[in-house]
């Protein structure tokens, strides 16, 4: 059973996450085969202050 993990900043709506899961699932099945029922998508939301890039916290790199 394939598992796709998506890590992203908090702030997306439930509808956006629903659409993301749908689109990722369809793309995987189209390109890699299998069935939608065999695929799991896990979304992990992270605060910007808990994510770093280029030596800085993302809350500093990408302020709201």
What pLDDT shows up at residue 64?
A: 86
Q: What CA–CA distance (Å, rounded) separates 21 from 35?
A: 14
Which domain, by its residues, includes 55? 3-61
Q: What CA–CA distance (Å, rounded) separates 63 from 27?
A: 31
Catalytic residue among 1, 2, 19, 36: 2
Q: What CA–CA distance (Å, rounded) separates 33 from 29?
A: 5
Residue linked to tokens 């598992």: 3
Mean of per-residue pLDDT scores for the chain: 97
Percent of the chain topping pLDDT 90 = 97
Q: What CA–CA distance (Å, rounded) separates 38 from 15?
A: 22
Q: Average pLDDT in the 56-63 region?
A: 96
- Report how many domains make up the chain: 1
Does the global pTM surpass 0.85? yes
2 assigned to active site: yes
CATH number, domain of 47, equals 3.30.429.10
Q: How confident is the model at residue 26 (pLDDT cuts 50, 70, 90)?
A: very high
List, for residues 36-56, the tens digit of each pLDDT value. Answer: 999 999 999 999 999 999 999
| Contacts made by residues 48-55, CB under 8 angstroms, sequence distance 24+ | 48/9, 48/10, 51/9
């Amino acid at each position: 059973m394939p598992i796709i993990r998506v890590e992203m900043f908090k702030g997306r709506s439930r509808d956006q996450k629903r659409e993301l899961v749908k689109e990722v699932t369809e793309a995987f099945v189209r390109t890699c085969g299998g069935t939608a029922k065999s695929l799991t998508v896990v979304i992990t939301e992270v605060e910007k202050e808990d994510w770093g890039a280029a030596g800085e916290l993302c809350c500093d790199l990408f302020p709201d």
